[in-house]
Chain A
């Protein structure tokens, strides 16, 4: 299904880079000449607390702001979003649109039979990706989990191109970036994991690319055709 707009809700935990993922996605979409908006929604900034961020990508000017109540795509960055209800909506898929997509970072099944049936009734495709393991394998740090989540949604929906993601990552991590104290600390943490900034960029991009390929393959095999129109 080619949509004029795709609304993506990213649900995760504080410290996982959920807000950064949304910003990178929107920057990439903008580089692809699509219209894009990203914004976060969080309470006090603390690790492991629920954190959400939203990306809206489309072909016409986007005015909608704030929490995404009726998304096409939901990405779950951490199993606790589901298992401990660390989500702003209960259940985590509340409000998902018919024909939507759920992407879950987990190496095991997390949905109850009831959840599964409700998602089937709504024709929602569910995709499990082990983004944390992918991050550990390729980048050597679980801090790159968010890159796996970016790659997955991009690979399945093609809402942003790999080239644009590359440029967006360079924009975000290649130069000095001032945000809140919490974000600055996390930026420092990820920078310390790599000997050089170039290495950080290369490894993170490799995680995005791998997740993109795996996601694209899954979408083709399962005929998931949710995508956003070209400008």
Chain B
């Protein structure tokens, strides 16, 4: 029998369907100076997306509008505007059940409003990609990048990655589809970044060629039959086991939920070569480490420069993937550290909790500094926090109004 590959053929916009490995690691890169929102657009231009569902909420509105432009240009097959975020995520589910590659963007209160859908997506094994441009979910109102919403996503059964820069974001938007759609993974993926600090910041990003795109999603590689009412997950919705308490309902719930968590773990073997490991680390032989994810890593890098000027050597661990959680990687990277600082853009300190639950001698973890409502964390504040915790005398920073 002849076998036909779509690789090397062209889509209607003249883009060549390109082997993902070639696209990510071998194709030339073009340096461009863009905002994060423009970077999201350029990634989706190359992602062979069938359906995008949009709803406005700062700070993702620009990106959602820019993808509307892509639809007008013919790069995205269909573009729908939802009634609210709950409706958006439900429409995404419908599109994905129907076999489409589905993409959406949300932020803060939108993520919270849509929350019911996320464990449903993963239970239904829908490989939807969702961009989360983090924003405060609290009152008093904030549009700035508080990362608390990520904490709510961690046990939804989704893959969760947290980008530090627009470059991470560009690469991971494309790579995320490929990992999420593997037959032995086949789960929704949340690719998070800190709103404004990434979306509204202009930075240099190396883009893949505009005439190359990802091969399309193949729904027949799904581990569960598409829209089959006799098999999980769909039949469960028509005849819910939740109504029953018998052997088969116990077994089905337990095995299916464990299977979703096992699928998250199985994604490691695809993710690690793709994004270069679940963590990235520098100078982990230092006694002091800064461990975090997202923009907090960037602020940590600047703090490390300032501390170096004062003769203090500090190492760094950037956590890229939150689900799967890099359990062994973090234990290994932190084994020499005496003091582990975890700066976070939320007051809950969820990253510090996760790390404490991972490593031996967890009293080495010093949570903070924290900023609330997505306010800025100047590197000087991290420096002061570290020096104070180590018992060094510090000149108090010039405060507001001084």
A contact residues vs B (CB 8 Å cutoff):
23, 26-27, 30, 35-41, 43, 63-67, 69-70, 89-91, 94-95, 178-180
Residue-wise, chain B 347-368 has the 8 Å CB interface mask toward A (1 for contact) of 0000000000000000000000
In the bound complex, do residue B204 and residue A65 qualify as a contact, i.e. CB atoms below 8 Å apart? no
Chain B min CB distance to A89 (Å): 6
- Number of residues on chain B facing chain A (CB within 8 A): 34
In the bound complex, do residue B197 and residue A38 qualify as a contact, i.e. CB atoms below 8 Å apart? no
Tell yes or no: B301 within 8 A of A by CB.
yes
In the bound complex, do residue A38 and residue B202 qualify as a contact, i.e. CB atoms below 8 Å apart? yes
**Given A27-B33, A64-B379, A178-B66: A38 and B398 interface contact (C-beta under 8 Å):** no
In the bound complex, do residue B200 and residue A39 qualify as a contact, i.e. CB atoms below 8 Å apart? yes
Question: Which of B143, B197, B203, B297 is within 8 Å of A66, CB to CB?
Answer: B197
In the bound complex, do residue A27 and residue B202 qualify as a contact, i.e. CB atoms below 8 Å apart? yes
Question: Which of B143, B197, B400 is within 8 Å of A89, CB to CB?
Answer: B400
**Given A65-B298, A65-B299, A179-B62: A37 and B196 interface contact (C-beta under 8 Å):** no
In the bound complex, do residue B197 and residue A39 qualify as a contact, i.e. CB atoms below 8 Å apart? yes
In the bound complex, do residue B33 and residue A178 qualify as a contact, i.e. CB atoms below 8 Å apart? no
In the bound complex, do residue A178 and residue B377 qualify as a contact, i.e. CB atoms below 8 Å apart? no
In the bound complex, do residue B196 and residue A63 qualify as a contact, i.e. CB atoms below 8 Å apart? no
In the bound complex, do residue A67 and residue B375 qualify as a contact, i.e. CB atoms below 8 Å apart? yes
In the bound complex, do residue A26 and residue B202 qualify as a contact, i.e. CB atoms below 8 Å apart? yes
In the bound complex, do residue A41 and residue B398 qualify as a contact, i.e. CB atoms below 8 Å apart? no
Chain A residue contacts of B201, Cβ below 8 A: 37-39, 65
30 A-B pairs in the complex with CB atoms less than 8 angstroms apart: A23-B202, A30-B33, A30-B202, A30-B204, A35-B204, A37-B202, A38-B201, A38-B202, A39-B200, A40-B200, A63-B297, A63-B298, A65-B194, A65-B197, A65-B299, A66-B196, A66-B197, A66-B295, A67-B375, A70-B378, A70-B380, A70-B398, A89-B401, A90-B400, A94-B398, A94-B400, A95-B398, A178-B62, A178-B66, A180-B61
Tell yes or no: B281 within 8 A of A by CB.
no
Residue-wise, chain B 192-229 has the 8 Å CB interface mask toward A (1 for contact) of 00101110111110000000000000000000000000
In the bound complex, do residue A178 and residue B65 qualify as a contact, i.e. CB atoms below 8 Å apart? yes
Tell yes or no: B69 within 8 A of A by CB.
yes
A38 to B377, CA, bound (A): 16
Name the residue on B nearest A183 (C-beta).
B62
In chain B, positions 289-322 with a C-beta closer than 8 Å to chain A are: 295, 297-299, 301-302
A94 to B197, CA, bound (A): 22
A162 to B375, CA, bound (A): 34
| 3 A-B pairs closest in CB distance | A66-B376, A67-B376, A63-B298
Name the residue on B nearest A39 (C-beta).
B201
Chain A residue contacts of B196, Cβ below 8 A: 39-41, 66
Chain A min CB distance to B194 (Å): 8
In the bound complex, do residue B62 and residue A90 qualify as a contact, i.e. CB atoms below 8 Å apart? no
Tell yes or no: B402 within 8 A of A by CB.
yes
Chain B residue contacts of A26, Cβ below 8 A: 33, 202
Chain B residue contacts of A65, Cβ below 8 A: 194, 197-198, 201, 295, 298-299, 376
A35 to B144, CA, bound (A): 25
Chain B residue contacts of A36, Cβ below 8 A: 202
Chain A min CB distance to B3 (Å): 42
In the bound complex, do residue B299 and residue A64 qualify as a contact, i.e. CB atoms below 8 Å apart? yes
A180 to B58, CA, bound (A): 10
Name the residue on B nearest A122 (C-beta).
B398
Chain A min CB distance to B198 (Å): 8
A67 to B377, CA, bound (A): 8
